[in-house]
A = this chain, B = another copy of it.
Amino acid sequence: MTSLAEGFVEALRRVAQGRQVPLHAPEFAGNEWVYVKECLDSTFVSSVGKFVDRFEAQLVEYTGARHAVAVVNGTAALHVALLLAGVGAEDEVLVPALTFVATANAISYCNAIPHFVDAEPRTLGMDVRKLRSYLSENADRIDGRCVNRHTGRLIKAIVPMHTFGHPADLNALVEIAADFHLVLVEDAAESLGSTYHGRHTGTFGLLATLSFNGNKTITTGGGGAILTDDPVLARRAKHMTTTAKLPHAWEYCHDEVGFNYRLPNINAALGCAQLERLPFLLGNKRELFNRYQQAFQAVDGIRLFEEPDGCMSNYWLQTVILDSEFVSQRDTLLAASNAAGLMTRPVWQLMHKLVPFASCPKMDLSCAEDLAQRIINIPSSAVLGREE
């Protein structure tokens, strides 16, 4: 093992206090049993029941968005949010190259085309300066619409993703969206609990999406939500995600091709309990960041990623970034830590490197490509931020 790998594993081991630890484990130490049992006892475990409404109300209260519509997972939330943003067949949608595949997949479900944007090292999100100059050079604004000069296709929307919970540069993104006639849809799957200048991520775009997958800060098993301030879009989101069924005492009439995307009540019951503990978990995760900061202080060649200025991140996945000279050791570090029972992983393969998206339009992606070689996510469970 190299000395860098030794230092890396030692730092992780110190924070893990000798335990074997996964990348991120949820915990059910609040009212999870109580609510799930109550849900089972009521027999309303599925598409009817009070926990869905309650979970949505809690999300509204917590995020400050005016409306929340709970759905079956974050991918479903993105799919419907994009449809509500007006994304149609053959439209292009600006999306980071550095993201989880769901962001790009959801665009494909609309028969639309992802158009990849570079990242910047300060936020790990979209590089807003590069994006503005790229659009100025490569897009035409015609009759209040944005047209890709090379493909002739409409660029309809922009979907920043808040990487590992760290907010992208939202003020600049809001301006770019306005200037280039793009609908802003935030993929806030990873950033529940993260704020940008005091305001919750997911409240800057026309629509935003959350995820409550098992690896997220809080989980409903599988689950997601659409956030919006617009009551009409919120009603449309609920309608489209519940098979577009018109209300009637007994008739089954559907007025459009809808989706079976509603969050089951039993999963919402779990979510209600999880959300109650979110502030506590966020405190743990922040403390975990402090512990890693201590532990990595003496490790040269590795930088612990810290929340961007003006932001309060949820620190969903703790992240280290290798110095450029140590890029070639990344896999050694991954192998050594995983072998030691300290689960780590690199960032996702960049979207433009995946077979299904290899021919999609893209800008120069050199920063994302550089970061992808240097990012390692390290064990991030809230419990690691507590005395045990």
A-side residues, CB < 8 A to B, are 25-28, 32-33, 36-37, 40-41, 43-48, 72-76, 100-102, 105, 108-109, 111, 213-215, 219-222, 243-245, 249-260, 262-267, 270, 334, 338, 344-349, 354-356
Smallest beta-carbon distance A210→chain B, Å: 14
Copy tally for this chain in the complex stands at 2
* Smallest CB-CB A-B distances: 4 pairs: A46-B214, A221-B264, A75-B260, A252-B348
Ordered by A's residue number, 27 sampled pairs between the chains whose C-beta atoms are within 8 Å are A26-B46, A28-B40, A28-B45, A36-B40, A46-B213, A46-B222, A47-B215, A48-B214, A72-B222, A73-B260, A75-B260, A100-B252, A101-B243, A101-B252, A101-B254, A111-B111, A214-B265, A221-B266, A250-B338, A250-B344, A250-B346, A254-B354, A255-B354, A256-B355, A257-B356, A264-B267, A266-B266
Is chain A's binding surface mostly helix, strand, loop or mixed? Answer: loop
CB of A43 within 8 A of CB of B25, answer yes
**Residue from A47, A48, A334 whose CB has the most chain B CB atoms within 10 Å:** A47
Cα–Cα, bound, A70→B243 (Å): 21
CB of B348 within 8 A of CB of A257, answer no
Q: Which residues of B are found within 8 Å of A101, using beta-carbon distances?
A: 243, 245, 252, 254, 258
Q: Which residues of B are found within 8 Å of A245, using beta-carbon distances?
A: 101
Closest to A269 in B: B221
Closest to A331 in B: B250
Cα–Cα, bound, A312→B45 (Å): 28
Q: Which residues of B are found within 8 Å of A349, using beta-carbon distances?
A: 251-254
Q: Which residues of B are found within 8 Å of A222, using beta-carbon distances?
A: 46-47, 72, 260, 262-264, 267
Q: Which residues of B are found within 8 Å of A334, using beta-carbon distances?
A: 250
Cα–Cα, bound, A355→B41 (Å): 39
Cα–Cα, bound, A213→B264 (Å): 9
Q: Which residues of B are found within 8 Å of A41, using beta-carbon distances?
A: 28
Smallest beta-carbon distance A313→chain B, Å: 21
Closest to A255 in B: B355
Smallest beta-carbon distance A386→chain B, Å: 16
Given the interface contacts A101-B258, A266-B221, A338-B250, does A33 sit within 8 Å of B26 by beta carbon?
Answer: no
Smallest beta-carbon distance A244→chain B, Å: 8
Closest to A264 in B: B221
Q: Which residues of B are found within 8 Å of A257, using beta-carbon distances?
A: 105, 108-109, 356
CB of A214 within 8 A of CB of B47, answer yes
Q: Which residues of B are found within 8 Å of A354, using beta-carbon distances?
A: 253-255
